Amino acid sequence: MRPGAWRVLLIWLAAMLAGVGMVAQSRFTADMSFFLPSDPTPGQQAMVEQVREGSVARLLMLGIEGGDATTRATLSRELKKRLDADGAFEGVQNGQSDIEASVREVLLAHRYLLSPAVTPERFSITGLRQATDDSLALLASPAGMLIRPHLLEDPTGELWALLQGLQVGQQPDAVDGVWASRDGQRALMLAQTRADGADTDGQQRAIETARSSFEAVRQELGVPDARLLVSGPGVFAVQARETIRSEVTRLSLLGTSLIVLVLLTIYRSPRLLALGLLPVASGALAGIVAVSWVHGTVFAITVGFGLALIGEAVDYAIYYFVQAGRIGAAAWQERFWPTVRLGVLTSVAGFGALLWAGFPGLGQLGLYALTGVLVAALVTRFVLPALVPDGLPVRDLSPLGRRLEAGIEHLRHLRWPVLVLALVGMVWLVQQREGLWQPDISVLSTARADDLALDGQLREDMGGPDSRYLLVVKGSGQEAVLQQVEALTPRLEALVEQGLIGGYDSPARFLPSERTQRARQAALPDADLLRERLTEAQAGSPLSASRLEPFIQSVAAARDQPLLRAEDLQGSGLDLLVGALLMEASDGWRAVLPLHPPPQAHEAGLDGQRVAQALSGSGALFIDLKGELDSLYDSYLGEAVWLSLAGVALVLLLLVLTLRSLPRLLSVLLPLALAVVLLIAGLHLAGERLHLLHLVGLLLVVAVGSNYGLFFDRTAAGHGLEASTLSAMAVANLTTVIGFGMLSFSTVPVLHAIGITVGPGALMAFVLAAMFSPGGPRP
């Protein structure tokens, strides 16, 4: 071996060792941050925060089936007991009415600090009369049963007003004292995890805790047919991660085995096989290192995508062995390397366009592929010749090549039919352009249909804790945020009045700011004054002032009552409610107010534009989570279109600069264009729901497929196409098709889309390039 070769080998070895070291340190993740924008708008930022740490993302819905209603209720109570005691959950609700009693107790004890009706006017003579008259009128109604027990201590009905505030969100039915589905066949519970939504490990632990606790309770009670259903964002996150992990492992193994099998069949030499996989392994390693370096974390999907790259990166070694085996390394570097290099560059151009994607997953895929291909090519060019300077005796593939050439000769007769077919496909696609692309980000979700159905079912059973519309208020501290929220309240009430929104939840409803609590205390008259006013106010009323001494005492006590703090709500269930709406974030405090659509517009949602307008200048940010997601997807799709076009333009530029001939350029481009048209038409015809990853796949088809055209172009350029080179191309194409095609079996939409596009696309690009290649001279 030459001294230079040793140097190359040492550098390569050092780089590989360093790479392995870095990969060992890399963080791998399979969570949804793959899809979250790297450069978000304020609305998207707020959405991302909700997804990562919002209370909605921490909510698990549990359903208990099997046994009879009483058994289910007992299971529900016992499970709640266990989960309450477990650190994984902040709180568990199952509709048990003792909780309701404790809520009522807290509200009753703090009603004069909590009720927005407490103003000086309320405690004037006319105000008191008005309020007690209202209560008496309420007493005549069926709802009166709720206020009757407290009439004498709360004749102004503050408790009633507070209870009404609790009624904003719908509650599920109760059977045997615990929540149940409409048909009564399923007990329901809500569990708030302590772990953030983005903490998939924590979510997984919480879900496992729920399942194992249920199992323990089930065995304790001896209910063999009882089962626990769990759904919620955490479940989907954990499942997505599991799906991605298991599929990436399974498909990688399968794909690699197939490729190895193909290579063994061709090389018939384990040594060549090992050498041939060297560039691929180096490229894959380099890809992970690059991504880990730039992004900090490596998505499992990116690693899965690496599988596809094996099929592509292995090509260079195939060319090298097949061609250099016959003519020697030096001649190969002179005759074939420029073509391979151009192929590498077009691939790099295609992948490189993705680097600018705001969709972080896409950026990673681009960086991984670009680094991988580049390193694989460099290792082929510099390391392989160092290891095998004069090539190795590879089986002569010329007979295969000649058979292929004969086949291609037949294919050439199909040129016109294919052109006509492509034209028809083109016209059809233009007609179909409206429904061609899926406008919904849900196409990227790994969630299975039956899981989504279960989620929808439980959500409906729960009375739909809908959280599509949010108002986010930020501030430096808890008090500041609460004051801001209170300043917003009149505007929100006006919106309810106008029917623009059906209602809203607010943390200030159960935890008013200290300023407001003090103002309410100040509005309360002292005992003597109140007694005096009551005497006048209640003259002629069925409720005489003389009976209202408990009221006077309550008000007097409330004047010096310690202010209500978050701690006072603990254990009542209200602490969960407030905790879900008010939280400390890295940059201060934040209140999140869910807005409920008006009842009649539940399906259509609310008029976001008018609501946002009505709240403009208030300092609160109105977010329509679905709208944000849609706009996010739109922006991703728009971006993918531009990046793909840019990538294609870059590939074109490279070809123009290298080929410097319009006929040659056209002969490379025509098969590619036909492949793209036929591919889209074929996918659409097959009922594939096209989305932005298919678009990215098309870019890769162009980037990868142009390589074939370039090799065939050598024929036109007078180099002639050796039968062995044709065989090498066919094998290279086969490995690429296997690598990408394997991804099409994935249920992860991102991987599936790329696989189903690039797998068949690469094959079509090769076949069409062969079909439209001129029948040149043969050696």
Partner 1 sequence: MTRRLIALLLLVASWPTLASSFTIEQLMRSLAAHPGGSVRFVETRHVAVLDVPIVSTGEMTYTPPDRLEKRTLTPRPERLLLERDTLTLERDQRRMSLRLGNRPEVLAFVDSIRGMLGGHHQALERNYLMQLQGSPQRWVLTLYPKDHEIAALVQRITVAGQADQVRSIEYLQADGDRSVLEVEPVKP
Residues forming contacts to partner 1 in the complex (CB under 8 A) are: 95, 134, 136-145, 148-149, 151-152, 164, 167, 170-175, 180, 463, 497, 542-544, 547, 599
Q: What DSSP string describes 256-309?
A: HHHHHHHHHHHH--HHHHHHHHHHHHHHHHHHHHHHHHHHSEEEHHHHHHHHHH
Helix axes 692-716, 337-353, angle to 10 degrees: 160
Nearer to partner 1, 463 or 571 (CB): 463
**Nearest approach, Cβ of residue 143 and partner 1 (Å):** 6
How near is the Cβ of 150 to partner 1 at its closest, in Å? Answer: 11
Cβ 186 to partner 1, closest distance in Å?
Answer: 14
Minimum distance, C-beta of residue 191 to partner 1, in the bound complex (Å):
20
- Spatial distance between the Cα atoms of 369 and 347, rounded to a whole number of angstroms: 9
β-strands 582-585, 89-93 pairing: unpaired
Looking at beta carbons only, is 170 or 257 nearer to partner 1? 170
Q: Residue 172 or residue 276: which is nearer to partner 1 going by CB?
A: 172
Report the 10 Å Cβ neighbour count for 631: 16
Q: Which is nearer to partner 1, 222 or 490 (CB)?
A: 490
CB of 463 to partner 1, least distance (A): 8
Q: Which is nearer to partner 1, 139 or 331 (CB)?
A: 139
Nearer to partner 1, 225 or 497 (CB): 497
Contact criterion met (CB below 8 Å) for 103 and 572: yes
Please tell me the distance from the alpha carbon of residue 213 to that of residue 78, in angstroms, as a whole number. Answer: 9
**What minimum distance in Å lies between the beta carbon of 140 and partner 1?**
4
Provide the minimum distance between the beta carbon of 543 and partner 1 in the complex, in angstroms, as a whole number: 6
Q: CA 56, CA 579: separation in Å to the nearest integer?
A: 12
Q: Which is nearer to partner 1, 170 or 609 (CB)?
A: 170
Residue 99 Cβ vs partner 1, minimum distance, rounded to whole Å? 13
Looking up tokens 């405090």 gives: 589
Beta strands, E only, 186-261: 187-193, 227-231
Nearer to partner 1 among residue 138 and residue 702 (C-beta)? 138
Instruction: Tell me how far, at minimum, the Cβ of 686 lies from partner 1, in Å.
Output: 45
The residue written with tokens 């208990």 in the block is 64
What gap in Å lies between CA 287 and CA 305, rounded to an integer? 11
> 172 with 461: CB under 8 angstroms?
yes
For residues 9 and 46, give the distance between their C-alpha atoms in angstroms, rounded to a whole number: 50
Measured between alpha carbons, how far is 755 from 744 in angstroms, rounded to an integer?
Answer: 4
* Residue (87 or 599) nearer to partner 1, CB: 599
CA distance 739 to 753: 14
Q: How far is the CB of 614 from partner 1 (least distance, A)?
A: 19
Cβ 184 to partner 1 shortest distance, Å = 8
| Beta bridge partner(s), residue 228 | 64
| 409 contacts: CB under 8 Å, gap ≥ 6 | 775
Question: What do you get for the CA distance between the two ends of the chain, in Å?
Answer: 32
In the chain, the amino acid numbered 623 is I
Based on C-alpha coordinates, what's the Rg of the chain?
35
Beta carbon nearer to partner 1, 155 or 594: 155
CA-CA distances (angstroms) from residue 298 to 27, 304, 364, 397, 444? 6, 11, 8, 40, 19
Complex with partner 1: residue 188 or 591, whichever CB lies closer? 188
- Min CB(498)–partner 1 separation in Å: 11
Which is nearer to partner 1, 239 or 541 (by Cβ)? 541
Helices (H), 603-691: 608-614, 625-659, 662-685
Q: How far is Cα 675 from Cα 769, in angstroms, rounded to an integer? A: 9
